[in-house]
Chain A
Amino acid sequence: MAANLYEQLGGAGAVDAAVDIFYRKVLSDESISHFFDDVDMERQAAKQKAFLTYAFGGPNNYTGLDMRHAHAHLVARGLNDDHFNAVAGHLQSTLAELSVPAELIDQVLTIAESTRNDVLGR
């Protein structure tokens, strides 16, 4: 039986390797870092970890409603497609940095893309 995406990526270990790199890219990006200013860093990192687990096809209990509620206050502050694209871009470059095969990166980005409307409250 073929391994699923999460297993192919390397499971929880892959998420651990990715989360610091990904979160650093996000915090260093001035176009989006202001959305993270008031948030406790460790709690935010835990949320990034949960998001990456979800995007890697891993175990999670997110619903579209969770994503919608979680980002509603940011949408109110102007969260838009450009910001979403920036985060997706950092996800892509994180995986590229970790030498993940292009085909698997595409699968992860497809999962991330599927959250766009919920994240942006559309």
Chain B
Amino acid sequence: MPTIHFQGKDYPCSENETVLDCLTRQGETIPSSCRSGVCQTCLMRAVSGTPPPKSQESLKPTLTAQHYFLPCICTPTGDLQIALPADDIVQRTAATLVARERLNHDIVRLLLQSQQDFDFRAGQFAHLSRPDGLIRSYSLAGLPHTDGLIEFHVRRLPGGAMSTWLHEEVAVGETVQVTGPSGNCFYTPDNPDQGLLLIGTGSGLAPLWGILQDALRQGHRGPIHLYHGSWNPAGLYLVNELRQLAARHPNFIYTPCVDAEAGSGDTLGRADLVALGALANLKGWRVFLCGHPEMVRNARKKAFLMGASMKDIYADPFVLSAKAA
């Protein structure tokens, strides 16, 4: 009979018993609701062992790739070590600032040298904490570097505690803590001929820059359309790199978007309107949305109504922390 390892304890499974029933029977309370593999409330991750495919098939490919499964419909065929998403095992490393370069008037590229291995998929994000404990999340930028360098693109927010520190105060040679990675916004090669629509505003380009390179290096054949928006041309960045990439890959099309109505302090670009106006129908497309939360929310709904399947829409809104008192 398989055994379930959870939070340091062992739970032997009875014959044909689901993981959820096994834990509940032995006094462990796991969040659950429909108990039929639909609502995903009981979602957990298999840290080791292989859950049967039936307990994964309704999940998005990015969750399956990270070994998530649904315990309520999982009848294990072997031992499993499992974790709740909330207290999942994360990687932690100290990382030293190696370089900071200006990408445009309000975005810097930070290169950090990690002292331990830090593995992630292009498009995920990590938590940065500074010595006094202040912690914020930032998307990991670009493809993972091979030499332990971790890259972030950080936009300076007016009054932003962490972004001001990262832009102006932290010096090369200083150390921060990086924990993670988190996030389900990354490329999976399950459908190499489908169209990929990537829409980002501001530093939302950072994860998209990684996702599109990841798709290209994994041989994605379908069209890859990137729309990056800013309310004025100065807010765009990586323009030359993206143009060169487009020149080398016929299936990659880069469209920088500028909101013509300058003067509004709002940085919401019109990249989403341009992007969603360019295609009549998004049936069969996979959509990645990163950046301003309102853009992400509106574009997500619009993309869905235009025919993209819920399972193919990946949203990564950059939600701002509330200002400190």
**Residue positions of A touching B, CB distance < 8 A:** 12, 15-16, 19-20, 23-24, 27-28, 41-42, 45-47, 49-50, 53, 58-62
Contact = CB atoms under 8 A, between A and B. Distances in A.
Interface stretch (B162-170, B255-263, B303-311): B303-311
B58 A12 contact: yes
Interface of B: 33-40, 58, 300-301, 304-305, 309-310
A73 B310 CA distance: 25
Contact of B38 (A20, A24, A42, A46): A46
Contacts of B33: 61
A50 B38 contact: yes
B304 A61 contact: no
B39 A46 contact: yes
Given A45-B310, A61-B33, 10 more contacts: A27-B304, A46-B39, A46-B40, A50-B34, A50-B38, A53-B36, A58-B36, A59-B36, A60-B38, A61-B34
Given A41-B300, A42-B310, A45-B310, A24 B305 contact: yes
A61 B38 CA distance: 11
Given A41-B300, A41-B301, A23 B34 contact: no
Nearest to B300: A41
B305 A50 contact: no
Given A23-B310, A28-B305, A41-B304, A16 B58 contact: yes
A27 B307 CA distance: 12
A47 B301 contact: no
A58 B36 CA distance: 9
A25 to B, nearest CB: 10
Contacts of B300: 41
A26 to B, nearest CB: 11
Contacts of B309: 20
B36 A27 contact: no
A27 B301 contact: yes
A69 B58 CA distance: 26
A61 B305 contact: no
Contacts of A58: 36
A109 B122 CA distance: 45
| Most chain A CB inside 10 Å of its own CB: which residue of B39, B304, B310 | B310
Contacts of B301: 27, 41
Nearest to A27: B305
Contacts of B40: 46
Nearest to B307: A24
A15 B309 CA distance: 13
A65 B211 CA distance: 44
Given A41-B300, A41-B304, A53 B38 contact: yes
A106 B30 CA distance: 37
B305 A47 contact: no
B310 A20 contact: yes
A23 B35 CA distance: 22
A48 to B, nearest CB: 9
Contacts of A27: 301, 304-305
B38 to A, nearest CB: 4
A50 B304 contact: no
| Most chain A CB inside 10 Å of its own CB: which residue of B39, B40, B305 | B39
